[in-house]
């Protein structure tokens, strides 16, 4: 009888320990995603605005530099998002994203189009959050 009680005690301890480890790893994943949530959201908004401007600029050869800046910004934001989701190489990718966003915001500020102004604003927000990573 004592052996049976001891066996159940050990099984209970092992089960509790395993559940605790699973819970802690889930908490870490949530904490990491919370840490990056605002930046990922800003990157997604930046991507959306850049794609809109990119479409409009594609029709006008005079806007080639703005279109190029938007494409580079989208690519940098996508890499930064992937890095944050993987929690790997975040500082480097977000640093590159911040630079691309600054360049895109500068180009978009040169235009009077409302979409470009919105893009510049979203790029600056993304730049700020990415540079803080």
HEC states along 49-114? Answer: HHHHHHHHHCCCHHHHHHHHHHHHHHHHHHHHHHHHHHCCCHHHHHHHHHHHHHHHHHHHHCCCCH
Predicted local confidence at residue 28, as pLDDT:
41
The more confidently predicted of residues 62 and 70 is 70
Predicted local confidence at residue 91, as pLDDT:
95
* Interhelix angle 2-57/64-86, nearest 10 degrees: 180
In order of their start, the domains of the chain are 32-131 (1.20.1270.360)
The more confidently predicted of residues 20 and 88 is 88
Q: Residues 34, 72, 78, CA angle at the centre, nearest 5°?
A: 25
Predicted local confidence at residue 2, as pLDDT:
56
Give the global pTM: 0.74
Distances 58 to 32, 71, 76, 112, 126 between C-alpha atoms, Å: 38, 11, 19, 17, 23
Helical (H) or strand (E) element with 2: helix 2-57
Closest CA to 132 of 39, 57, 33, 54: 39
| pLDDT tens per residue across span 63-93 | 888 899 999 999 999 999 999 999 999 999 9
The more confidently predicted of residues 33 and 55 is 55
Q: Is the pLDDT of residue 99 over 90?
A: yes
Closest CA to 81 of 47, 106, 120: 47
Predicted local confidence at residue 20, as pLDDT:
45
Percent of the chain with pLDDT over 90: 58
């Amino acid at each position: 009888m004592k052996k049976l009680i001891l066996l159940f005690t050990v099984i209970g301890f092992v089960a509790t320990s395993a559940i605790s480890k699973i819970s802690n790893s889930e908490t870490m994943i949530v904490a990491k995603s919370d840490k990056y949530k605002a930046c990922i959201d800003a990157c997604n908004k930046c991507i959306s605005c850049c794609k809109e401007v990119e479409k409009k600029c594609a029709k006008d050869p005079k806007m080639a530099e703005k279109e190029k800046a938007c494409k580079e910004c989208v690519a940098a934001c996508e890499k930064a998002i992937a890095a944050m989701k993987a929690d790997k190489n975040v500082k480097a990718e977000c640093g590159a994203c911040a630079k691309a966003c600054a360049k895109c915001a500068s180009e978009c500020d040169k235009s009077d189009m409302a979409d470009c102004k919105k893009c510049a604003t979203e790029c600056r927000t993304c730049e700020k959050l990415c540079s803080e990573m």
